[in-house]
Amino acid sequence: MIDKDAYGPWAVVAGGSEGVGASFAHQLADAGINLVLIARKPGPLERTATEVRAKGVDVHTLPLDLLDPGAPKAIRAVTDGLDVGLLVFNAGANTYGHEFVGGELDRVQGVIDLNITSQLALTHHFGARMKERGRGGILLVGSLAGYMGQARLSVYSAVKAFSRVFAEGLWLELAPHGVHVLELVLGVTRTPAMERAGLRMDLPGLDVADPDDVAREGLEHLADGPLWVAGGNLTTAERRSVVRDRAGLVRGAHEASQRLLPKE
């Protein structure tokens, strides 16, 4: 179980309403850590908050879109009086899958702003506070998509690659100050978002992780940064990191990902 003394008494979970985010919330509450949960949809957010409050912790909810220009100010208004020891950034979903040059550039910008701009803003704010107090943790939820370019997901793959490299540099900067940084790389995970997208997760040989399991891995290995590949996907990540024959690797991965998509 995560150490409350090292990462408490408060944790901020961006994207904390369902799926992996809700699993983080429950496991942190089990450890006695109070929570600030941020998510776009008020209904799932309040359901998760009610469930974790029943475990005896204090919970603040912020039903807001991180792309809203006023989001950083709203988050600070709630958290500036709290001793935040952990930031979990789990809000980096792909909000626009489209062939790039034929797509809408403002929608593409939304993917960048959610996965990069918002992540940097929260990490900068809470990371500075943790550095000053000499302890804490920052957990950025990444994706295997960040190891290889994909058609219709080129920008999403790129922002996930950014997150991984950013986490490595941040880990070097904050480790001497007692702040742990971890990029938690997820593969296919059985979340409500995946199910709503209609992804075929019943394919033979496909490893599908459970949200509780990957959240547990992340919290257990928070001090083992800068990177942890969850759900038994380390071999896949290593294979996708090979420099030679990128064309063959990219085409093969593309064909495999197409099988996940719902049949039209």
CB hemisphere CA count around 219 (13 angstroms) = 30
DSSP output for 131-144 = HHHT-EEEEEEEEG
Q: Active-site residues: which are they? A: 156, 160
Distance CA 89, CA 246 (A): 30
CA–CA gap between residue 112 and residue 159 (Å, rounded): 6
Closest CA to 159 of 139, 137, 183, 181: 183
Q: Where are the alpha helices (DSSP H) in the chain?
A: 4-7, 19-30, 42-53, 71-79, 105-112, 118-133, 154-174, 192-196, 211-220, 234-240, 246-258
Q: What distance in Å separates the CA atoms of residue 48 and residue 94, rounded to the nearest whole number?
A: 22
Q: Which residues of 105-130 are buried (b: 16+ CB within 10 A; e: fewer)?
A: eeebebbebbbbebbbebbebbbebb
CA distance 146 to 183: 11
For tokens 């990957």, the residue is: 214
